[in-house]
Structure 1
Amino acid sequence: MIKTRVVYISMAILLLLFVVVSAVLPKTGIETKNTEFSYESIVFNKNKVTTVDIEIAEEDWADMLESATDKELKQANITVDGKRIENVAIRTKGSSSLNSVANSDSDRYSLKIDFDYYDDTQSLYGLKKLNLNNNFSDSTLMREYISYELMEQMGLPTPAHSYMYVTVNGEDRGLFLGVEAVDETFLANNYGSNDGFLFKPDGTGSDLKYISDDIADYTGIGLKTNEGNVDQSKFIDMIKAINNGGNIEKYIDVDEMLRYFAMNTAIVNLDSYQSNMKHNYYLYEKDGVFSIIPWDYNMSFGGFGGGGRMGGNIQMPADANMKAPEDAQTNEQLDKPDMEFPNNGVQQQQGERPNGGLDKGGINMGMGMSGDLMADSAINFSVTTPVSGTTLEDSPLLNALLSNEEYRAKYEGYLEEIATNYLTEENIQNITKKLALLLTTYVEADPTKFSTTEQFIEAVEGEKSLPEFAKQRSESILKQLSGELVVEATTQGNMAMPNPGEMGDMNIPMQRPDDFDPNQMPEDFDPSQAPPFNQNGDKQGDRPNGGGPMQRPDKNGGPMWPNQGDEQLKQGTVIDKNTILTAAVCFVLLIVALLFVLKFNRRGR
């Protein structure tokens, strides 16, 4: 006969086990999850700014900055929110943006960190490569982040992303956007396997026009994986299908690509396949079917200008001192009221200059800084012929989709869904206000930023904000779909991007702006929730969410902010399904035991 004491002891053991599994274990910091893909929630925690501390030999760092365009790998140690990874590779990254910064007095380069370059077993919670994007050409600092958010909301496979504050050898470099690399890890996480063919087209063949049956002739398709088995790829079959009117559903994920192009069109991302550049996208072939992967959105929301080129008015900090090329035209020669520049049918405002010309004050347009967010060419960008500086016929992938009545109807349905549910003033404002609360003090302290804190705040709400863009753009989309508004595509009069080597010397002192006005903050901004900084941009006081004083990482790679607050610590904890299942089983057993005891006691035993 079972004694009551034994039953109660059993219950106590089960209760203790339940408490340990469900409460104690997560708070110990032990990684209870199979960390293969836990980087998504740990490294890319969107509810906070992740700290990235880079330790690198001073001579290597100086050489990397001096020869940035060489993209030479250097050895470094990286600490990400207290997690230290030694012996990793780091280099500068970028193309036109890299060359533009290299031709200026700024050294704020985007960076790529390769955790497994020297040791292929090494990773950061499963992450093998991390991009730190410098937000070049985006005074809002939000275009790329919001674009990825919208792509996610449309159900597209999207790189993980969040904001990160970077230091090098203890000195601040500033606020960057951390973005997951599209590589084997990304493919395994999003597609269940990485044994297919990953392409990053940029160059000959990136327009996906038929050249020949020999894949070697498509030198710009940028095969990144499975190179040894390229003869097994269906790339040529896919090219033939989209160019010759074949059964494209056999070779491409039609629905996914319609969603991609609908969103890409809605947010006016022209530094992409939809301009003459024909780049900044990935294709992944799995079992002979091609999917498209979004990439590089710092010039979305019309930031790339009409005709597929960087453009728009440049706004730099008030103390910016820009140098003009010796052979450049003078401002007097350029600033004639009756002077017009070809812009695909859209007249430029006075002061805007094509092809690296000089704006007032000698600002070289080659820097490609984002300009008038509310430009009519962006707000009313065509949704019926969604290309710029090119034609649909020269964009066979997009043309194959939109020339089919069924697919076009579905594309237009997605555009309507985007305009009414995603690219709305309310949705974008929710994002920008959250980012303002999270980022403003980091932007203010950033010693290398390209633009001012005021410009960042201006993008949050108001007449020239991203939410206002969303409002007007979505209205335009709906009017175009209903036929109330007819917009001609900007397919002609394209202006080529300036050659970075011809943009002249730039002298841009990157200093903390003196015109920061706290009164420009959103109405619901709570300064108490963000870390204060002194007039020199030095960090002091408390961290967000009740964190403690700022401290440098200790020699053992201790956390930057040891008292970040319970909420952030909870957000950084990842519990796997096995732990949840164990807790559930224990809870069920506890309930069963309790019922047994109650029944046992009723019988008076």
Structure 2
Amino acid sequence: MVKHKYIDWICIGAAVLAALLTILLMFGEQLGIPKASATPGYATRLFDDSRVHTIDIQIADWGAFIEDAEREEYEACTVEIDGEEFHNIGLRAKGNNSLRLTKEYGLSRYSLKLEFDQFQDGGNYYGLDKFSLDASFQDNSYLKTYMAYDMMAFMGVPAPLCSYTWVTVNGEDWGLFLAVEEPEEAFARRNFGNDYGKLYKPDYRSLNAENADVALRYIDDHPDSYPGIFENAKFKVSEADQKQVIEALKTLSTGENLETAVNVDEVLRYFTVQVFVMNWDSYLGHTGHNYFLYEENGVLSILPWDYNLAFGTYALGMTDPIKDPNILINYPINTPAEGKVMLNRPLYHNLMKHDAYFARYHDYFHKLLSEYFENGRFEATLRQTEKLIAPYVQKDPTAFCSYEDHRLAVDTLEQVCLLRAENIRGQLDGEIPATIRGQQENPDDKVDASEIQLTDLGDFKDLEESKERQDAALGDITGKST
């Protein structure tokens, strides 16, 4: 039996302390205390973007891996990240058109995916299950994806973490890549807490099909009618999970009570950046894909993904390919897609029918322009990052472009974004038409972008010119001339 003259006070104090701890655990976020999952170990290690990291891929036969890359099959390897080794990691090439074209042009610089739990249950890098290495395909600036995610994060949209990495293979230089957090369990936990919802990466089976499910249109109440969504679930989903998504799509289709089915504020912030960066290889383009769909408690959010063809460089995303920078950089924010596409994109179209949401969408453009572009933040971030990666781009043995072309691309990206910001400011102020029809009727009301060459950001000729360089780097690793 414990005896102490202050035992009653000790017990009372312990009870009070326990109560305070319980309150902190329950209401910590409201009190400004971040969730434990908000800053996982990998966020301050690999994804510290203030420096260029090092990754060495140790693999038995790199030549065979490159030869079979298009199959997208995982192969086991050892990965050394900033000097720390991780064994039995799954490695494969990734991409869609970039993967196909890299193979078609006889090149070897593929974007890569590394999965820590592919061959071992529970495998992870300080809590991270998977990340990718973006090859900057058709992005001579190396900056399009990085800057797009920075804009999304600035606007409070859950976006993948990313940082630059110098990649070697079996100790031999391979090039500068952008490491990107893949949206799976770790991403969901970091952004939404341990009780996160369900995550999907909707994609089409055939670009020529209707793909109504990928466009987030309500079809019927049968899960089999939504293969583009449910066959691309990132986590195991139940019939109840499927029903929640379908019910949300059904509500979205009506255009009423949208806040019961859509995270309206977050979606508006997403579309603000998406429209700014002129990315038509996306939900607002002909393809309708390259996004993640997040559902929690029957409420849908759209999350960003894949920006190497943003900033007006995916002309094929239009029904009639447009390459004129005067059209692209002046593209209207109120009708950011042609009518046929717009009517089939209810997540944008049905929200914009509401005056309050439409006004908030414009308010978010004001915020993006005034707090990110017009105060110099964009230029500072762009130039600081350019300076960080410059020595690595200069020595990149598999680069898709020369260092001189890289510098030209950075300058071009800066000009494109500043002109785009100027144009949208004019649209918001009523000086430039904000619809396709208005611009057709007033063709002279625009910013002059005639000196911009969008091909300077990356073009097919760069692929042709990089083959010799990439063959030499592959030969240095395999010991075979190609």
TM-score by length of 2: 0.79
Contact preservation (8 Å) 1:151, 1:260: yes
Aligned to 1:423: 373
Confirm or deny: 8 A CA contact 1:257 1:292 kept in the other structure. yes
Query: How many Å separate the matches in 2 of 1:225 and 1:97?
Result: 26
CA contact 1:184–1:194 (8 Å) conserved in 2: no
* Larger CA Rg, structure 1 vs 2: 1
Residue 401 (structure 1) aligned to one of 351, 371, 377: 351
User: Separation in 1 of the partners of 2:337 and 2:37?
Assistant: 44
User: Does the CA contact (< 8 Å) of 1:268 and 1:300 recur in 2?
Assistant: yes
Alignment counterpart, residue 221 of structure 2, candidates 213, 227, 245: 213
The letter of the residue matching 2:428 is L
Deviates more, 1:430-439 or 1:91-100: 430-439
Q: Where does 1:531-570 land on structure 2 (aligned, <5 Å)?
A: none
Q: Which residue of 1 aligns with 2:52?
A: 49
| In 1, Cα distance between equivalents of 2:273 and 2:148 | 9
Q: Give a deviation string over 1:294-330, Cα, whole Å, max 9, x none.
A: 1111112112126438xxxxxxxxxxxxxxxxxxxxx
- Give ranges in structure 2 of 5+ residues lacking alignment: 1-35, 205-210, 438-459, 474-482
Of stretches 100-109 and 450-459 in structure 1, the one that deviates more from structure 2 is 450-459
Alpha-carbon displacement from aligned partner over 1:508-545 (angstroms, at most 9, x marks no partner): 444569xxxxxxxxxxxxxxxxxxxxxx9xxxxxxxxx
Match of 1:40 in 2: 43
* SS at 1:234 equivalent: helix
SS in 1 for 2:301: strand
User: In structure 2, what is the equivalent of residue 413 of structure 1?
Assistant: 363
Q: Which whole-Å deviations, capped at 9, do the CAs of 1:306-359 have from their partners, x for residues lacking one?
A: 6438xxxxxxxxxxxxxxxxxxxxxxxxxxxxxxxx53xx5x57xxxxxxxxxx
Structure 2 distance, partners of 1:389, 1:476, is 21
1:32-70 Cα deviation digits (max 9, x unpaired): x99981111111111111100000111xx3222112211
Deviation at 1:243, TM superposition (A): 1.3
Shift of 1:131: 0.2
What's the counterpart of residue 64 of structure 1? 65
Separation in 2, partners of 1:99, 1:425: 41
Partner of residue 437 from structure 1, selected from 387, 390, 402: 387
Deviation of residue 251 (structure 1)? 1.0
Structure 1 residue 165: Cα displacement? 0.9
8 Å CA contact retained: 2:244, 2:298: yes
Instruction: Output the CA distance in 2 between the equivalents of 1:85 and 1:79.
Output: 6
Shift in CA distance, 229/37, structure 1 to aligned 2, threshold 3 Å: farther
2:477 counterpart of 1:474: no
Alpha-carbon separation, structure 2, partners of 1:425 and 1:489: 29
Unaligned runs of 5+ in 1: 1-32, 310-341, 350-374, 491-502, 514-535, 537-605
Code of the aligned partner of 1:482: D
CA RMSD of aligned residues (A): 2.5
Q: Which has the larger share of helix?
A: 2
Contact 1:271 / 1:304 at 8 angstroms: preserved in 2? yes
Q: 1:376 aligns with which of 322, 326, 340?
A: 326
Which range moved further: 116-125 or 65-74? 116-125
1:478 deviates by 1.4
Q: Do structure 1's residue 266 and structure 2's residue 276 form an aligned pair?
A: yes
CA shift, 1:78, in A, is 0.3
The alpha-carbon distance between structure 1 residues 121 and 390, as it changes in their structure 2 partners (threshold 3 A), is same
How many residue pairs were aligned?
405
Which secondary structure does the structure 1 equivalent of 2:174 belong to?
A: strand
Counterparts of 1:194 and 1:63 in 2: how far apart (Å)? Answer: 41
From 449, 455, 475, the equivalent of 2:405 is 455
The residue that corresponds to 2:264 in the other structure is 254
Q: Structure 1 stretch 228-237 or stretch 193-202: which is displaced more?
A: 228-237
Residues 446 and 171 from structure 1, CA distance in 2 versus in 1: closer, same or farther, beyond 3 angstroms?
Answer: same
Q: TM-score, normalised by structure 1?
A: 0.63
Instruction: Tell me if the contact between 2:292 and 2:303 (Cα under 8 Å) persists in the aligned partners.
Output: yes
Pick closer, same or farther for the CA change 1:512–1:103 going to 2, 3 Å.
closer
CA distance in 2, matches of 1:171, 1:246: 58
Which whole-Å CA distance do the structure 2 matches of 1:94 and 1:200 have between them? 14
Q: Which amino acid aligns with 1:43?
A: L
Q: Equivalent residue for 1:484?
A: 431
- Equivalent pair of 2:109/2:398 in contact (CA under 8 Å): yes
Distance 1:194 1:167 in 2: 37
Distance 1:172 1:230, change over 3 A: farther
Counterpart residue type for residue 312 of structure 2: G
- After the TM superposition, which residues 141-290 of structure 1 pair with which residues of structure 2 at under 5 Å, given as runs? 141-193=142-194, 195-203=196-204, 204=211, 205-221=213-229, 222-231=232-241, 233-290=243-300
Secondary structure class of the residue paired with 2:371: helix
User: Aligned residue for 2:121?
Assistant: 120
Is contact 1:306-1:388 (8 Å) kept? no
Shift of residue 276, structure 1, vs aligned partner: 1.3
Distance 1:167 1:441, change over 3 A: same
8 Å contact from structure 1 (residues 91, 112) kept in 2: yes
User: Helix, strand or coil for the counterpart of 2:79?
Assistant: strand
Using a 3 Å threshold, how does the CA distance of structure 1 residues 200 and 459 change in structure 2: closer, same or farther?
A: same
Shift of residue 269, structure 1, vs aligned partner:
1.6
Distance change >3 Å, CA 227–CA 156, structure 1 → 2: same
1-side partners of 2:155 and 2:289: how far apart?
A: 21
Letter of the structure 2 residue corresponding to residue 157 of structure 1: P
Equivalent residue for 2:11?
none
Identity %: 35
Letter in 2 for 1:166: V
- The amino acid of 2:333's aligned partner reads V
**What one-letter code is carried by the residue in structure 2 that aligns with 1:243?**
S
Amino acid at match of 2:101: S
Shift of 1:194: 5.1
Q: In the aligned structure 1, how far is the partner of 2:247 from the partner of 2:92?
A: 37
Whether contact under 8 Å (2:66, 2:108) holds in the other structure is yes
